[in-house]
Amino acid sequence: MDLEAEIRALQLDSADEINGVVTPEDHNSVEVEKLDKAEEDLKDEVQESVPVPDEQQASEDHDQVMLHPVHNPAKAKEKAAQEKAAKEEAEEEAEANKKRHLNVVFIGHVDAGKSTIGGQILFLSGQVDDRQIQKYEKEAKDKSRESWYMAYIMDTNEEERLKGKTVEVGRAHFETQSTRFTILDAPGHKSYVPNMISGASQADIGVLVISARKGEFETGFERGGQTREHVQLAKTLGVSKLIIVVNKMDDPTVGWSKERYDEIEQKIVPFLKASGYNTKKDVVFLPISGLMGINMDTRMGQDVCPWWSGPSFFEVLDSIEIPPRDPNGPFRMPIIDKFKDMGTVVMGKVESGSIREGDSLVVMPNKEQVKVVGIYCDEDKVKRAGPGENLRVRITGIEDEDILSGFVLSSIVKPVPVVTEFVAQLQILELLDNAIFTAGYKAILHIHAVVEECEIIELKSQIDLKTRKPMKKKVLFVKNGAAVVCRIQVLNSICIEKFADFPQLGRFTLRTEGKTIAVGKVTELSSAASSA
């Protein structure tokens, strides 16, 4: 009997059954290694001498193997392989039946209440108890920041607590009936927009927090406030749906006023439309009080707010729909961070395809081949993971110092393109001091986890804003508000995709001196520099 062929068939079958977790292209390249692993595992199982008490069947087989090792080792191996495959299949089925997972980023102007809402969610979902709340209350009081105690749940470092401002993107988990959520609590302060960009680039949906308190909505929404900048960045970074929570409705200057709520909604809708959101399909508005926990996990009563009969925040989160992602695409995971821990661990969000323990992948742009030895989703070790998951992946074959954030863990057969030049369509938002935008303009490019200095080397054509078509006449410079097609160059090689193929790896922002001056999409990868 051709045992090798049998094992090979088994391995491939079991891989096929989990909905193409391994892509057809990946099959061939990982096949040999998988076979090696299968044989190693088999050896382990066959040699194991202590039977597992509650697995009667398995123990009988072990006995057989131990008693008659010479008579029929091939059959025993075959059986062990079958059992192993069945066990893996059951594990994978359990994982596949898990609730869907969504990353939700909290954005909005400084002090709108993002961290307070995040903290309240953890409290309402039972992850923080009353004793801990009392401790935070005391600490907040000691720092003369009484009302910040809920925010302290998310704002964990000293600087954040002292100043009452989030700096690093806070991360937490909670579940509704249908969905597991990872909360990303972005900072609102304009100094930390790069951190907000990194949070938003990992998110599927956004919660835009708006303070209804007198004066606060106005400051946040005016030019220079972060409400506008965050919305534009979120759209560009691929946040397809927005929940707009009008917060602080309990504040004495608001008192659950319908007029105030309507005023805010009416002012924001045109801006959301102009930023590319379909306000009927992609946007939901609702009033809450994050600090009091009202209209959060359950609907509020008429006694609190007589005019609202709509859903609670958790209900909206639970029912939000985003387009399903294809788990069979070529694997892409932009690396946002890495560290050393029994090998090299890389962190990031899977933007395309699926990953499985034992896979062989490549780290781009270095082209270093690596092997996946462990996958961690939240706190759990998992065998495989699909698109949209935030993961820590332990890999061998590369040192952590050889990885930079912005590198991409990628399929070997269809690796992510590497370029130093590309063509893009840009929307100019606001140039510094109304400068003009022309060839030679330098800025910082933010695309997925990449942050690189770049230079505009050619303006190709200006886009007519009415027809959205390129204009015929030659363009030498453009001003605020213009849309333009241009060629962009970076010093170091970067891994990007055309927006049309992989939106998450093909949209970007340009910033100068800490301000977002343009948002854009990649339309062409420069063929000369591409080394895919």
Given a contact cutoff of 8 angstroms between Cβ atoms, the answer to whether 162 and 140 are in contact is no
Please, what sign has the CA dihedral across residues 140, 219, 260, 121? negative
| Nearest Cα to Cα of residue 390 among 206, 242, 202, 241 | 202
112 binds, among ligand GTP, Mg ion, none (CB under 5 to 8 A by kind): ligand GTP
Strands 100-107 and 179-185 come out as parallel
Which among 47-55, 76-84, 246-254, 501-509 is the span making contact with ligand GTP, rule CB under 6 A?
246-254
> At closest approach, how far in Å is the CB of 167 from ligand GTP?
8
> At closest approach, how far in Å is the CB of 115 from ligand GTP?
3
Single out the residue of 79, 113, 286, 352 in contact with ligand GTP (rule: CB under 6 A). 113
Which among 92-100, 114-122, 342-350, 375-383 is the span making contact with ligand GTP, rule CB under 6 A?
114-122
Single out the residue of 182, 202, 247, 425 in contact with ligand GTP (rule: CB under 6 A). 247
Q: Which amino acid is at 236?
A: T
> At closest approach, how far in Å is the CB of 163 from ligand GTP?
8
Tell me whether residue 120 or residue 504 sits nearer to Mg ion (CB atom).
120
Given a contact cutoff of 8 angstroms between Cβ atoms, the answer to whether 279 and 233 are in contact is no
- According to DSSP, residue 246 is labeled E
List the interface residues with Mg ion, window 94-153 (CB under 5 A).
114-115
Cβ atoms within 10 Å of 299's Cβ, excluding its own: 18
Helix, strand, coil shares, percent, the chain, to 5:
35, 30, 40
Q: Which residues contact 501 (CB under 8 A, 6 or more apart)?
A: none
Single out the residue of 14, 80, 128, 148 in contact with ligand GTP (rule: CB under 6 A). 148
Residues 297-326, mask of contacts with ligand GTP (x by CB under 6 A): ------------------------------
Cβ atoms within 10 Å of 486's Cβ, excluding its own: 24
| Nearest Cα to Cα of residue 14 among 384, 329, 360, 410 | 384
406 binds, among ligand GTP, Mg ion, none (CB under 5 to 8 A by kind): none
Q: Which amino acid is at 264?
A: I
Is 188 a binding residue for ligand GTP by CB under 6 A? The answer is yes
Residues 439-478, mask of contacts with ligand GTP (x by CB under 6 A): ----------------------------------------
Is 226 a binding residue for Mg ion by CB under 5 A? The answer is no
Which among 159-167, 217-225, 427-435, 512-520 is the span making contact with Mg ion, rule CB under 5 A?
159-167
Tell me whether residue 88 or residue 251 sits nearer to ligand GTP (CB atom).
251
Is 166 a binding residue for Mg ion by CB under 5 A? The answer is yes
> At closest approach, how far in Å is the CB of 480 from ligand GTP?
26
Q: Which residues contact 334 (CB under 8 A, 6 or more apart)?
A: 348, 349, 351, 406, 407, 408, 409, 448, 449, 450, 495, 505
Is 291 a binding residue for ligand GTP by CB under 6 A? The answer is yes
- In this structure, what token pair is assigned to residue 506? 């093909």
Tell me whether residue 199 or residue 327 sits nearer to Mg ion (CB atom).
199
CA distance linking residue 298 with residue 183, whole number of Å = 19
List residues binding ligand GTP (CB under 6 A): 110-116, 147-148, 151, 164-166, 187-189, 209, 247-248, 250-251, 289-291
